[in-house]
Amino acid sequence: MPPPTDSLLAVDIGNIYTRVALLDIVGGEFRFVASGQARTTIELPFNDMGEGVRQALDQLSEVTGRNFLDDSEHIIIPSQPDGSGADSLVATSSAGEALRVALVGLMPSVSVATAQKVAGSNYLKVVEVFSLGDRRREEQQIDSFLAAKPDILLIAGGTEHGSKSAVLRLVDTAIMAIRLMPQNKRPEVLYSGNRDIRADVKKRFEGLCEVTEAENMRPELDRENIDPARRQLSTLYEHVRIGRIAGYSEIARWGGSVLPTAQAQGFVVNYLNRLYKSDNGALGVDIGSSATSLAASFRGRLSLMTRPDIGVGHNAVSVLHHTTLERLLRWLPREVSPNIMRDYIYNKSLAPATVPQELDDLYLEHALARECLQITLASALPIYPDTVKGSGPSLTPYFDNILIDGAVLTRAPKPGQAALIVLDGLQPCGVTNLILDTYNLAPALGVVSALNPTATVQIMESGSFLNLGTA
């Protein structure tokens, strides 16, 4: 997509809501103009992601008086002399179930750990790991691989000019399993290991799977190179999604691609951290129906942790697999029976789009959101750089700014409730500025930051984000 020079449509598709925002030049500077929202339509009765986007665009048209769809229901790009359409479009999405990924690496604490960081940057669930620490027999590994049914195979074998035969043995085991899978069920393959055996790996997969390559994510024992693998993994993620979700390919054509929402938010957090050149970090928080993500940037280095199994809607029940009812109940302002908390969580998973009708229901939802943050933070802390400043081990590092996203936070009845959820869930050290992304603009600005940095700064400084204060 070319750098936006005028109007820009930003589409973000979640599991519950699809949002569209119009960004345009007003008075010589980029501004947020208006937004539209509709229910996401990847499930029955529509089974088409594009329908939800069109409904959101129709609402945006009512607000702005501008048409964004032609008579054939296709997006109008570029903008027309009569004012209809927009010059460009960016799209992000967190919709759909998490994809399943299998990892291949040598040492669990080295290449496998790095591969888990890469997988954790997207809406992916690690379902199988092959490594030198695996004591299972080969036939057991193959059975487990087949039962796991991975959508993506991520190979992260070895440092540069390091071991070759050990990696290839693990790859051969994975290949034997893939040969037993139906052709239309075989995973996408990403190789991000020792360049010396790259050709060997590709040759082994010939006629079986196409192999996508990326630079070695762990070229040395003490150095990681995550970004190239992260970018290629996003491409494979989009490719799998296009085959699974009707309408996904259409949205991708409109915007050139559909970026995972968590990564887009990570880009804007990373950009802000570089822009202000702070000694401390910047953090982005997003609590969704199916996933919770934390995007932290320290001196321009992005650490992204996505938990696709933790949320306040579709995956509310999964929270109970990682915590206890007692820990959830501690966040409530009054005594509540554990059965009430449990019933609420199960009902929320069955009807994730419902909103609290009573004050007690609101307290239950906010308790669930706090625990989502606690669980995700526990997963994120080990991947932060050792040089990060903090007041002690296992404590949240210092963050100058925390950018807050997710409907449970941005649509809280009072902004102060969102602030309290974040402060309780993260318990940040030091002095922190809390910023609420009221109009869900962060994912769009994350994409735009690489294309037009000026637009990102102008929109963030225009009052479109709500400063909740300093804590």
Q: Helix %, strand %, coil % for the chain, to 5? A: 40, 20, 40
Interior angle at CA 157, CA 151 and CA 160, nearest 5: 140
CA distances from 206 to 68, 82, 200, 291, 352 (A): 45, 53, 10, 35, 43
- Whether 445 has a pLDDT exceeding 90, the answer reads yes
Is pLDDT at 91 greater than 50 in this prediction?
Answer: yes
Select 8-95's CATH number: 3.40.800.10, 3.40.190.150, 3.30.420.40, 3.90.420.10.
Answer: 3.30.420.40
The answer to whether residues 153 and 185 touch, using CB atoms and an 8 Å cutoff, is no
pLDDT given for residue 428 in this prediction: 93
Number of Cβ within 10 Å of residue 101's Cβ equals: 28
pLDDT at 235: 96
Which residues of the chain does CATH 3.40.50.2300 include?
99-244
Give me the phi and psi of 9, to 5 degrees please.
Answer: -100, 130
Domain 258-470 is found in CATH 3.30.70: no
For every residue of 315-348, DSSP letters joined together read THHHHTTTS-HHHHHTT-SS---HHHHHHHHHHH
Is the domain spanning 99-244 CATH 3.40.50.2300? The answer is yes
Distance CA 51, CA 40 (A): 8
Residue-level length of the chain: 471
* Token pair belonging to 14: 């979640």
Confidence tier at 43 by pLDDT (50, 70, 90):
very high
pLDDT of residue 388: 83
Cis check: omega of the bond before 4, within 30 degrees of 0:
no
What are the tens digits of pLDDT across the range 231-267? Answer: 999 999 999 999 999 999 999 999 999 999 999 999 9
Q: What is the pTM of this model?
A: 0.94
CA 235, CA 241: separation in Å to the nearest integer? Answer: 10
Q: Are 425 and 371 in contact (CB under 8 A)?
A: yes
Partners of residue 306 on adjacent β-strands: 293
Peptide bond into 45 cis (omega under 30): yes
Distance CA 187, CA 384 (A): 30
Rounded Cα gap, residues 382 and 361, in angstroms: 34
Q: Taking 70 as the threshold, does the pLDDT of residue 450 lie above it?
A: yes
Beta bridge partners of 255: none
CATH 3.30.420.40 in the chain: give the residue spans: 8-95
pLDDT of 453? 87
CA distance 456 to 4: 11
- DSSP string of 226-253? HHHHHHHHHHHHHHHHHHHSTTHHHHHH
Q: Report the Cα–Cα distance between both ends of the chain, in Å, rounded.
A: 39
Query: CA-CA distance, 349 to 409, in Å (whole number)?
Result: 18
Is residue 360 a contact partner of residue 332, using CB atoms and an 8 Å limit? no
Instruction: Give the Cβ contact number of residue 151 at 10 Å.
Output: 24
Q: What are the pLDDT digits (tens) for 95-131?
A: 999 999 999 999 999 999 999 999 999 999 999 999 9
* pLDDT value at residue 46: 95
Residue 189 and residue 454: Cα distance in Å, rounded?
Answer: 37
Percent of the chain whose predicted confidence (pLDDT) is above 90:
90
Q: How far apart are CA 13 and CA 52, in angstroms?
A: 9
With 60 as the cut, is the pLDDT of residue 2 above it? no
Three-class DSSP labels, 158-185: CCCCCCCHHHHHHHHHHHHHHHCCCHHH
DSSP characters over 55-81: HHHHHHHHHHS---B-TTS-B--S--T
Q: CA–CA separation, 86 vs 29, rounded Å?
A: 16
Q: Is pLDDT at 83 greater than 80 in this prediction? A: yes
Q: Is the pLDDT of residue 383 over 50?
A: yes
Average pLDDT, the chain: 94
The helix-helix angle for 138-148 and 165-179 (nearest 10°) equals 50
Torsion, CA 128, CA 131, CA 135, CA 140, rounded to 10? 40
Question: What does the DSSP assignment read for 366-412?
Answer: HHHHHHHHHHHHHHHGGGS-TT---SSTTSPPBEEEEEEESHHHHT-
Do 52 and 45 contact (CB within 8 A), yes or no?
Answer: no
Rounded distance between C-alpha atoms, residue 154 and residue 190, angstroms: 5
In degrees and rounded to multiples of 5, residue 285 shows phi and psi of -115, 135
